[in-house]
Amino acid sequence: MQLVAAAAVRMVRQICLLTLMLLAACGGPGSELPLLPDAGPPDYSLGPGDQVRIITYGEENLTGEFRVNDSGNISLPLIGAVHAAGLTSSGLEGAVATALRHGDLVRGPSVAVEVISYRSIYVLGEVNKPGQYAYQPGMTVLSAIALSGGFTYRAIDDYVAIVRSSEGKTVQGRAGPEAFLRPGDVLKVFERRF
């Protein structure tokens, strides 16, 4: 009889422990954040801090490497400031060509733009090497975690929080390992409660 009672007590304890573990897993840090919409790999939009190479064919003095400044502009010789923030590479090609035509500097300009240095992403929390890392197009949460040395043994590895600035607004949400990142994103990897 005592063996049966002892076994029943152990079984009740195990059930209570499993129930507590499941409840803790359901309500981990950051689990209340809304899911970020998954839009697939984004078209890369230029922003402050990006560095581009602009080639104007046949015009060596209008070719070079330029950085997008804090105002979202690049300063080109003979043209002056051209707004680049929010444009894709092909959008900037069109803007530079238009500026060259309007300034009567080049007839029928042929312009090519290549991004040579992207804005960084930031990884914080339960990773082995938190810090700033170079963004690459097509980067996912999991590839950013890999760059930062992987998860620590205390990390929640099912989701992260992402703080993202877009069009002057900052949003925060939860994202899974396959979610695509954008330049300037800040990832926070949470610590398990037990």
Look at residue 41 in the predicted model and tell me its pLDDT.
62
- The residues pairing with 120 across neighbouring beta strands, listed in sequence order, are 134
Instruction: Please check whether residues 129 and 191 belong to one and the same domain.
Output: yes
C-alpha to C-alpha distances, 127 to 35, 36, 148, 163, 191, nearest whole angstrom: 21, 21, 6, 17, 10
**According to the model, what pLDDT value does residue 169 have?**
83
Where a domain ends, among 67, 86, 117? 117
Among 98, 117, 136, identify where a domain stops: 117
CATH of the domain at 157: 3.10.560.10
2 found inside a domain: no
- The pLDDT score that the predictor gives to residue 59 is 83
Please report the pLDDT score of residue 44 as a whole number: 81
* CB distance 194 to 24 below 8 Å: yes
Residue 61: predicted pLDDT: 82
In a shared domain, residues 130 and 178: yes
The encoded tokens of residue 20 equal 């507590």
Q: Which tokens sit at 25?
A: 């897993």
Tens of each residue's pLDDT in the chain, 194 residues: 565 555 555 655 666 544 545 444 555 666 666 666 665 566 788 888 899 999 999 888 888 999 999 899 999 888 889 999 889 999 999 999 999 888 777 788 899 999 999 989 999 999 999 999 999 888 999 999 999 999 999 999 899 999 988 767 888 999 999 999 988 899 999 998 87
Distance of CA 79 to the CA centre of its chain: 32
| Whether residue 39 sits in one domain with residue 123 | yes
Q: Name the residue range of residue 131's domain.
A: 34-43+119-194
Q: Output b/e per residue, 139-176; b: 16+ Cβ within 10 A.
A: bbbbbbbebbeebeeebbeebbbbebeeeeeeeebbbe
Q: How far is CA 74 from the centre of its chain?
A: 23
State the pLDDT at residue 155.
92
Residue 101 and residue 59 share a domain: yes
Exposed, middle or buried: residue 179 (CB in 10 Å: 0-12, 13-18, 19+)? buried
Q: Which residues pair with 123 in a beta bridge?
A: 131, 187
